[in-house]
Amino acid sequence: MMQLFKNLFGGQVDGMMLAQSQELKEYAQIELLAYFAEPTAPHDSTAQRAWNRVLPKPYPDMLARFQKQGWLAPAGNGYQVTAQGRPFVEAYRRRTEEAKRTAMQGVHDALAQMMTSEALTIRRQYENRTPLGKADWTGPEPPMNHSAVTRRIFFLDHWLFDGLSPETVKWLKLYAAEEHLWGAFWRLDPAQIPPQVAQELAHPELDIVEAVYWRAHAIVLLVDNQETWQRVKGGDHVRRLEIVGVNDEHTCEHCRQHLGKQYLVARVPELPHRGCTSPYGCRCRYEPVLEAIEEIPLMAN
């Protein structure tokens, strides 16, 4: 197929074909080209080695080829896509946005049925199709038990939900589960928030988008904190947990007094802090404290 196009275009590679190709080695080229949509310096050597695994030619050769084809030109201390290359970048962007939309819908539909491992499979398939195996908006590589932790959201019974109707709790859990599954947080369009939910979650200091955002954020943090605590409590390697979190103008005094403090696992305060008065809710996390070598008692002594 590629050879046929090369012949048709007299050796010129058709950028539109690359942008729409199903072959990783082909569409990866347009993803690299798109990186230079604004004047940008080339990737560092570590990132170039990752690119070299998916490009048909070494990274510097690809940039040279793009320039020869008139798709890329030097700009500042890097490069920028030319007017000739721009349509390929735009076509590729439409394609990646569509892939993201489809994957997010798939995850949403799976989680609406509490099918968490199926949802994680959809995420993995989506990320595996990206040239470097990682989308720029998703969280870090999920741990082995990731979908099981996501699943716990659906079974949570917690004071965070006090006073809310079952319908609102269900809606909020689904939003939080989607974010947990993707390892990313995002704000909703107001039209995506059902009127009943908007009424129940209305907050005197926040608009409704922010109000539901921080409610879901607290739920994600809760299952992750529970997971951290459960993981370390039975083990021998971690004796202490540190409470870490955001310290900004929205951090309340109650949370601030615990920030940076370390506790024995069995004595660590429960998170989220019940006394938290921040409009965002408690943003504190448990961080396992790795023991320094000299603190570990030697059996020989």
65/69 Cα distance (integer angstroms): 6
- Shortest separation between residue 246's beta carbon and Zn ion, angstroms: 9
- Name which of 19 and 176 has its Cβ closer to Zn ion: 176
Distance set, CA 33 to CA 19, 47, 65, 122, 287 (Å): 10, 15, 11, 27, 39
Residue 129: phi and psi, rounded to 5, are -80, -15
- Shortest separation between residue 287's beta carbon and Zn ion, angstroms: 13
- Shortest separation between residue 245's beta carbon and Zn ion, angstroms: 6
Residue 133: phi and psi, rounded to 5, are 75, 15
**Structure tokens that stand for 193 in this block:** 């928030």
Give the residues across from 263 on adjacent strands.
241
Q: Residue numbers of the site for Zn ion (CB under 5 A)? A: 255, 273, 276, 282, 284
Helix residue spans in 36-73 (DSSP H): 45-52, 59-68
- Shortest separation between residue 206's beta carbon and Zn ion, angstroms: 17
Distance set, CA 131 to CA 44, 46, 51, 55, 93 (Å): 17, 15, 8, 9, 14
- Name which of 110 and 276 has its Cβ closer to Zn ion: 276
- Shortest separation between residue 220's beta carbon and Zn ion, angstroms: 14
- Name which of 265 and 282 has its Cβ closer to Zn ion: 282
- Name which of 135 and 255 has its Cβ closer to Zn ion: 255
- Name which of 49 and 256 has its Cβ closer to Zn ion: 256
